[in-house]
Amino acid sequence: MSSDAVAVRSDAAAARAGVTAVRSDAAAVRSGVSQAGSASFADRQVVEQRGDVVTITVNHRNTQRSTVYLGSKDVGFFVEVHLRGSNRVKLHLNTYRTDGSPGEFLRAEGGSIVNATMHTDRLSHPIYTGVYLVNVSVGGVEQDLGEFVLQDRSMAASSYVAPSAVDVADEEVATVLKRATERERVARGDWAVVRFDASGLEGAFDPDHLHGGASAEGIAVEFVKQETNANQAAESFYASESSDVVVKPSLDDDQVVVAWDTDDVDLDGRRDEYEVTLRLDREYNALLDADDDEDESVSTRVVVAADRVTLNNGHDIDIPPWESQFTVTGSTNLAPGTSLSVRARSTSPAFLKQQSATVGTDGTFEATLDVSDVERGVSFSVFALHHEADDVEATLEASSAALVFDNQTTDGTTLLVDSVSLSHGGHVVVRTSDGTVLGTSGYLDAGDHDDVPVALASALSANATLTATAHFDTDGDGTYDAKGADEAYRENGSAVADTANVTLQRTTTTATTTTNTTTATTATTTVTGSGGATTTPAANASTTQSTVRTTLPPGVEPLPQPGFGPGMALVAVLAAAALAARR
């Protein structure tokens, strides 16, 4: 600090105001504007926490010099700072170092400090919380007033996990946290990320010294393994002493991120638990009183477990014959956002399929692989790269089908398919030559079926050549999907089908007129007695003849009716002629 620091005037007004008054001409005083230029604060109030760095921005206009006064004698902290710089100068006040000289706790950015003088006794501790007045003058004329506010510090800790692919060392803190997920559980190989929301550390924090000693200003970040053997000391290490730990402070945002690469963790069992602590040692940290009962600390937990990837719940995969691709679902304890390469691999026949999948926030993922160019009946391995031990077997199921659809005669409402054999169940669909669906069978289970009826949606009106085709029930709903979702069985690339000539049954009708004839006859009864023969007519004698209408199949002639053959017809004719002659 310069020995020719500006002296504080002793007049009462300056003492009461806590600022240095410099006399000037009356016009300048009345206008409040110095003939040498002006200065102002970018922010009239700056809020920080005790131990942090307060930044006061001074804007110069038509001048390169100004004087800034920090605090006042009334609060026991009063510093006069002479600045040089054009336009904008930032004055940084490290509140943690205010127990030293101005040269230790003041720094300029965008300009320089010409000299600084402390007009109160040197402090034995960093300045306390409270409101501190600041003002700026040019050429002895006050230009602007403001204040900085120091609040109490606070600390909190939380655990996160980030994918191993995140470049923690080169990424900004905000980016690391954006790609991380808040949780304690970490799969070995991922980043265990601890976020400390800690204010008041900016003035003392050194990421290369976090062991809690004097050179670290009493600040420590320590990992301590839990549940160690009774006769062994707890395993522990400091963040600044491990090559697997990256410390990323963002002190302007009151944050410190500590990321631990767990790839080399040697697990004792299924998992290991660690407590991660940010601690301020009362012996070495100036923000704490040495006679405090205990250190100040905040902790969070990290649980490291072996990495795990499970495909299809550990079950093998059967790919139906109608599918040319399949979807693999999985779950893992790897960090959400992790990219996995899901693969299908076979050596006979030789092929390799792969698709990327991203782990979701719930630990699940899925990938769809195209196997349209792989022959049916082949089995192969499905796995995630670097997790081959957790593979499952997938099989491209082959299908078979056969049906016989013979020529037949029908009444036009129902057809019969002679035999059907389906490896995976399904339906038989009957179509016209132009592909119009006439009818479908009910659902047929896998296996053999005989005389399968197919009801037609509308009756046939003429003979036709029809095709019966075997179809899968791909959606498993038990009904045929006419829109094409239920694909046809295929053999050598062609649909399994058969064609039949269907004849519509003809109806022949033999009509006989029914005649009801009532013939009135006079019947006589002859009585022979002594007086001779007497004839008596009989009243209302009648005869009724009925004829029945009969329908016969084609080619079948009607049979003669009993009593009415050709011979009887001739007799009837002759009898009628004789009767006419008598008349």
Q: pLDDT digits over 417-439, tens only?
A: 999 999 999 999 999 999 999 99
Rounded CA-CA distance 516/546 in Å is: 6
Q: Closest Cα partner for 474 from 483, 465, 461?
A: 483
Does residue 1 have a pLDDT over 90? no
Q: What is the mean pLDDT of residues 112-131?
A: 97
Token code pair at residue 281: 């040692």
Q: pLDDT digits over 281-338, tens only?
A: 999 999 998 777 789 999 999 999 999 999 999 999 999 999 999 999 999 999 999 9
Q: What is the mean pLDDT of residues 119-129?
A: 96
Residue whose token pair is 């995630």: 384
Mean pLDDT for the chain? Answer: 85
**73-108 b/e with 16+ CB inside 10 Å = b?**
beeebbbbbbbebeeebbbebbbbbbeeebeebbbb
**Helix (H), strand (E), coil (C) string for 20-42:** CCCCCCHHHHHHCCECCEEEEEC
**pLDDT at site 544:** 42
Does residue 569 have a pLDDT over 80? no
**pLDDT at site 10:** 32
Whether 41 contacts 58, CB under 8 Å: yes
Q: Which CATH architecture fits 401-504?
A: Sandwich (2.60)
Token code pair at residue 538: 């009989």
Q: Which fold has domain 309-396?
A: Immunoglobulin-like (2.60.40)
Whether 6 contacts 19, CB under 8 Å: no
**508-528 b/e with 16+ CB inside 10 Å = b?**
eeeeeeeeeeeeeeeeeeeee
Question: Is residue 578 classed as helix, strand or coil in its secondary structure?
Answer: helix
At the top level of CATH, the class of 155-305 is mainly beta
Residues of the chain with pLDDT > 90: what percent? 75
Whether 538 contacts 525, CB under 8 Å: yes
Q: Where are the domains of the chain?
A: 12-151, 155-305, 309-396, 401-504
Does residue 458 have a pLDDT over 80? yes
Residues of the chain with pLDDT > 70: what percent? 79
Residue whose token pair is 């036709």: 464
DSSP 269: S
Beta bridge partners of 53: 94
Q: What is the mean pLDDT of residues 383-399?
A: 95
pLDDT band at 228 (very low <50, low <70, confident <90, very high): low
- The residue type found at 202 is E
**pLDDT at site 201:** 96
Does residue 538 have a pLDDT over 70? no
DSSP 423: S
Q: What is the mean pLDDT of residues 244-261?
A: 96
Whether 456 contacts 412, CB under 8 Å: yes
**pLDDT at site 422:** 98
Beta bridge partners of 420: 403, 449
**pLDDT at site 473:** 95
Same fold, 155-305 and 309-396: yes
Predicted TM-score (pTM) of the model is: 0.72
**pLDDT at site 508:** 59
Q: Which fold has domain 12-151?
A: Immunoglobulin-like (2.60.40)
